[in-house]
Amino acid sequence: MSSVIRLLSPRLANQIAAGEVVERPASVVKELLENSIDAGATRLDVEVEEGGVKLMRVRDNGVGLSKDDLPLALSRHATSKIYELDDLEAVGTLGFRGEALASISSVSRLLITGNQSDNPTEGWSARSEGRDMATELMPAPHPRGATVEVRDLFFNTPARRKFLRTEKTEFSRLEEVVKRLALAHFDIAFSLSHNGRAIHQWRACNSRIEQERRLGQICGNAFLENSLYVEVERAGLKLWGWVALPAFSRSQADLQHFYVNGRAIRDKLVTHAVRQAYQDVLFHGRHPAYVLYLELDPATVDVNVHPTKHEVRFRDSRLVHDFLFRTLHHALADVRPQDQMQPQEASPAPKVAGASSGVFGPQSALGLATPGQATPQVLDSQPASHWQNARPAPQALQQQMQSYGALHPSPAPAQPLPDTPEDMPPLGFAIAQLKGVYILAENAQGLVVVDAHAAHERITYERMKAAFDAEGLRAQPLLVPESIPVSEKEADLAEEHAQIFNNLGFGIERAGPETLLIRQIPVILGQARVEQLVRDVLSDLSEHGSSERIRHHINEILATMACHGSVRANRKLTIPEMNALLRDMEATERSGQCNHGRPTWFLQSMDALDKLFLRGQ
Could you tell me if 249 and 102 lie in one domain?
A: no
Looking at the domain assignment, is residue 2 inside a domain?
no
Task: Give the mean model confidence (pLDDT) for residues 119-128.
Answer: 92
Could you tell me if 51 and 134 lie in one domain?
A: yes
How many distinct structural domains can be found in the chain?
Answer: 4
Looking at the domain assignment, is residue 146 inside a domain?
yes
Q: What pLDDT is recorded for position 289? A: 95
Could you tell me if 557 and 576 lie in one domain?
A: no
pLDDT tens-digit map of 243-261: 998 888 898 999 999 999 9
Residues 6+ apart with CB under 8 A from 260: 267, 294, 295, 296, 301, 303, 312
Could you tell me if 580 and 559 lie in one domain?
A: no
pLDDT tens-digit map of 560-611: 767 766 776 677 889 999 999 999 999 999 898 887 788 899 999 999 999 9
Of the three residues 202, 228, 256, the one that is the final residue of a domain is 202
Looking at the domain assignment, is residue 180 inside a domain?
yes
Task: Give the mean model confidence (pLDDT) for residues 366-393.
Answer: 31
Of the three residues 563, 578, 594, the one that is the final residue of a domain is 563
Q: What pLDDT is recorded for position 76? A: 72
Q: What is the CATH number of the domain that holds 237?
A: 3.30.230.10
Task: Give the mean model confidence (pLDDT) for residues 522-526.
Answer: 74
Could you tell me if 308 and 406 lie in one domain?
A: no
Looking at the domain assignment, is residue 166 inside a domain?
yes
Could you tell me if 531 and 572 lie in one domain?
A: no
Q: Using pLDDT thresholds of 50, 70 and 90, give the confidence band for residue 353.
A: very low
* Contact criterion met (CB below 8 Å) for 205 and 211: yes
Q: What is the CATH number of the domain that holds 77?
A: 3.30.565.10
Facing residues of 238 across strands? 233, 295
Could you tell me which residue, 594 or 294, shows the higher pLDDT?
Answer: 294
Could you tell me if 36 and 184 lie in one domain?
A: yes
What crossing angle do the helices spanning 167-184 and 208-219 adopt, rounded to 10°?
160
Q: What is the CATH number of the domain that holds 389?
A: 3.30.1540.20
Range from 101-110, 184-193, 459-468 carrying the lowest mean pLDDT: 459-468
Looking at the domain assignment, is residue 419 inside a domain?
yes
Q: What pLDDT is recorded for position 28? A: 94
Of the three residues 172, 202, 232, the one that is the final residue of a domain is 202
Could you tell me if 235 and 327 lie in one domain?
A: yes
C-alpha to C-alpha distance for 312 and 304, rounded to whole angstroms: 7
Could you tell me which residue, 218 or 355, shows the higher pLDDT?
Answer: 218
Model's pTM, two decimal places? Answer: 0.74
DSSP 250: B
Could you tell me if 311 and 272 lie in one domain?
A: yes
Could you tell me if 53 and 160 lie in one domain?
A: yes
Q: Which domain holds residue 307?
A: 220-334
Give the CA angle between residues 124, 30, 161 to the nearest 5°: 95
Could you tell me which residue, 564 or 404, shows the higher pLDDT?
Answer: 564
C-alpha to C-alpha distance for 212 and 216, rounded to whole angstroms: 6
Could you tell me which residue, 385 or 58, shows the higher pLDDT?
Answer: 58
Q: What pLDDT is recorded for position 598? A: 84
Q: What pLDDT is recorded for position 380? A: 31
Range from 253-267, 431-445, 453-467, 495-509 carrying the lowest mean pLDDT: 495-509
Pairing of strands 351-352, 313-314: unpaired
Looking at the domain assignment, is residue 378 inside a domain?
no
Could you tell me if 22 and 84 lie in one domain?
A: yes
pLDDT tens-digit map of 8-22: 776 676 666 665 678
Could you tell me if 556 and 572 lie in one domain?
A: no
What percentage of the chain has pLDDT greater than the value 90? 42
Looking at the domain assignment, is residue 5 inside a domain?
no
Looking at the domain assignment, is residue 238 inside a domain?
yes
